[in-house]
A and B are shown apart, each in its own frame.
Chain A
Amino acid sequence: DCLSAPKDEL
Chain B
Amino acid sequence: MNAFRFLGDMTHLFSVLVLLLKIYATKSCSGVSRKTQELYMVVFLARYMDLFTDYISLYNSVMKVVFITSSAAIVWCMRRHPQVRRTYDKEQDTFRHVVLVAAAFVLALIFNERFTFREICWAFSIYLEAVAILPQLVLLQRGRNVDNLTGQYVFFLGAYRAFYILNWIYRYFTEGHHSRWISWLSGLVQTGLYADFFYYYFLR
Contacts and interface: CB of A to CB of B under 8 A. Distances in A.
Contacts, number: 36
Nearest to A6: B178
B179 A9 contact: no
A6 to B, nearest CB: 6
Interface in A1-10: 1-10
Q: How large is the interface on B (under 10, 10 to 19, 20 to 34, 35 or more residues)?
A: 20 to 34
Please classify the interface of chain A as helix (H, G, I), strand (E, B), loop, or mixed, using the class held by over half of its residues.
loop
Nearest to B114: A4
B67 interface: yes
B50 A7 contact: yes
Contacts of A10: 9, 12, 60, 63-64, 67
Nearest to A3: B178
Interface of B: 5, 9, 12, 50, 54, 56-57, 60, 63-64, 67, 113-114, 119, 122, 164, 167, 176-180, 182-183
